[in-house]
Amino acid sequence: MAEILPLRAWRYNRDLADRLELLTAPLFDVVSAKQRELLYQNPLNSINISVPTGDQPAAHAKEILQKWKSEGVLIQDSIPAIYVYYQYFRVPGEHEERCRKGFIAQIKAYDWDENIILRHENTITSAVGDRKDLLRETLFQSSPTHGLYEDDDFELEPHMDAAMEFPLFEIEDYQGVREVVAVIHDALVIRKFLKLLEPKQVILADGHHRLQSAITFRKENSENYPDEAWKGSDFHLMYLTNAKGNHIKILPTHRLYYGLELGATEFLQRVSEWFEIKKFSDPEELENYAFHIPGTFGLVLGEESYLLHVKESRQAELNPGVNEALRKIDTMILHDALFQKVLQIPMELQRGSNQISYERNFSRCVAEVRSGKASFAIITRELEMNQILEVCKSGEVMPQKSTYFYPKALGGLIFSSIDQEEFRFDYGAFS
């Protein structure tokens, strides 16, 4: 049973509405160093809470948050609501504008073994620790994670469309995505959202580290406030979209490898034991290559580029004993065949390896290799939504950074507090 609740959101003061584009920030795991530098120049930008700086960053974020509340920079809405969130965007190479429709609510931070929220990829331990410290110190969430539910009949869409006739605000973000937020206060309508989600499983599309932090926090506080009907520490801010919609876009995340001790000839020889290798004419053109065949990758090595396709004769040796749905995933093939078999990095050590990094920008991959910083780059293809659903429902998880759902939810539009003093409300009115 997926329990969701409306929320009394914190939002930037209306007097700052005309500057909202300057106050929002990309998620902490996608913002570049140059973007951070520019965002930090604005003392009111939400990045000061979501990615705080200093020797004690979590304590610094708490100090800033208290200051913003006391000075009226952030104002809390008086009654709980569902916040409708539409993202209008174009994918490079396409002229048609897409719209991803969803809503922001609170969801209980279910542990993975409760089988209500399903994760699809592994997390990186260090990132979880940072997020956990920040949540524990501030009791505040600056951006929602992204969850998918399945609704073939699109029952909630008419209510969301109706709310969008009177938006709270509309801005254009750092990627040119048009972000529009509206609100639903009607308890009868909110009840329909809660009722529809109640019997469903939710697939976590983005925000594995933040949700893992919320799960840990819920466990730490499980004995607190035993007489409260609803505990703030149990809940987590999430943006929910219908997986059955045709505007879910998943972009590939490429791999960069550093510190290769093998020469290029010996490396390719070892790779050829597991992959068919075909020379590719121009590394710059790999971005436009259609990787239709599963188990196919691009390799940028020095000034040269290649197509790699896993050998059929060796596929049975990869990921033995793993669920069939997971074995077919490209990143599973890649991480076992190349990183484990060829480069001898055990699967369990790959998550924390400082030799493997993840980059969604193709041009940066090529530049990093040509500059000599990275030894090589692996260009991957995007996964399909049905593959992700199949893996999630099997109970398995993919390697870290297997997906990049585009666009990302923007930080600083809607804030959520899990402070128990602010959480006391008769949410039974919505059930």
Residue 419 lies in a domain: yes
Residues 423 and 353 in one domain: no
Cβ–Cβ under 8 Å, residues 431 and 198: no
Instruction: Quickly state the pLDDT bin for 263 (edges 50, 70, 90).
Output: very high
Residue 223 lies in a domain: yes
Q: What does the DSSP assignment read for 51-102?
A: S--SSSHHHHHHHHHHHHHHHTSEEE-SS-BEEEEEEEE--TT--SPEEEEE
Question: Would you state the pLDDT for residue 381?
Answer: 85
Residue 145 lies in a domain: yes
Closest CA to 237 of 139, 133, 166: 139
Q: What is the pLDDT of residues 318-369, one digit of tens each?
A: 888 888 888 888 888 999 999 999 999 998 888 888 999 999 888 999 999 9
Cα(242)–Cα(160) distance, integer angstroms: 12
| Tally of domains within the chain | 2
Q: What is the pLDDT of residues 360-398, one digit of tens each?
A: 888 999 999 999 999 999 999 887 788 888 877 777 777
* Residue pointed to by tokens 């501030």: 138
Cα(281)–Cα(270) distance, integer angstroms: 22
Residues 209 and 267 in one domain: no
Residues 377 and 231 in one domain: no
* Residue pointed to by tokens 């708490």: 62
Q: Which domain holds residue 112?
A: 4-249+407-430
Closest CA to 419 of 228, 208, 207: 228
CATH of the domain at 265: 3.30.1760
Residue 217 lies in a domain: yes
Question: Would you state the pLDDT for residue 127?
Answer: 59
Residues 261 and 242 in one domain: no
Cα(300)–Cα(377) distance, integer angstroms: 5
Residues 350 and 258 in one domain: yes
Residue 399 lies in a domain: no
Tell me which long-range contacts 425-429 makes (C-beta under 8 A, separation of at least 24).
Answer: 425/8, 425/80, 425/230, 427/5, 427/6, 427/80, 427/229, 427/230, 428/229, 429/187
Q: What is the pLDDT of residues 269-295, one digit of tens each?
A: 999 999 999 999 888 888 777 777 888
Residues 104 and 40 in one domain: yes
Closest CA to 43 of 9, 71, 77: 71
* Helix pair angle (125-138, 57-71), 10° resolution: 40
Q: C-alpha 40: how far from its chain's center?
A: 22
| Secondary-structure percent of the chain, ordered helix, strand, coil, rounded to 5 | 35, 25, 40
Residues 169 and 56 in one domain: yes
Q: Is the pLDDT of residue 82 over 80?
A: yes
What is the DSSP code (8-state) at residue 353? -
The bridge status of strand 98-108 relative to strand 202-206 is unpaired
Question: Would you state the pLDDT for residue 124?
Answer: 59
Percent of the chain with pLDDT strictly greater than 70:
97
Q: Is the pLDDT of residue 193 over 70?
A: yes
Of 209 and 105, the one with more pLDDT = 105
Residues 117 and 194 in one domain: yes
Of 382 and 303, the one with more pLDDT = 303
What is the DSSP code (8-state) at residue 343? T
Residue 273 lies in a domain: yes
Residues 17 and 131 in one domain: yes
Residues 202 and 326 in one domain: no
Q: Is the pLDDT of residue 148 over 70?
A: yes
Residue 105 lies in a domain: yes
Q: Collect all residues with Cβ–Cβ distance below 8 Å to 296 and sequence separation of at least 6.
A: 307, 308, 309, 310, 330, 381
Residues 174 and 300 in one domain: no
Extract the tokens encoding 180: 């529009």
Instruction: Quickly state the pLDDT bin for 161 (edges 50, 70, 90).
Output: very high
Residue 388 lies in a domain: no
Residues 119 and 207 in one domain: yes
At residue 112's C-alpha, the angle toward residues 429 and 195, to 5°, is 25
Question: What value does the mean pLDDT take over residues 261-265?
Answer: 92
Question: What value does the mean pLDDT take over residues 303-310?
Answer: 93
On average, the pLDDT of the chain sits at 90
Query: How large is the greatest C-alpha to C-alpha distance in the chain, in angstroms?
Result: 69
Of 6-15, 88-97, 161-170, 412-421, which range is least confident? 88-97
Question: Would you state the pLDDT for residue 209?
Answer: 86
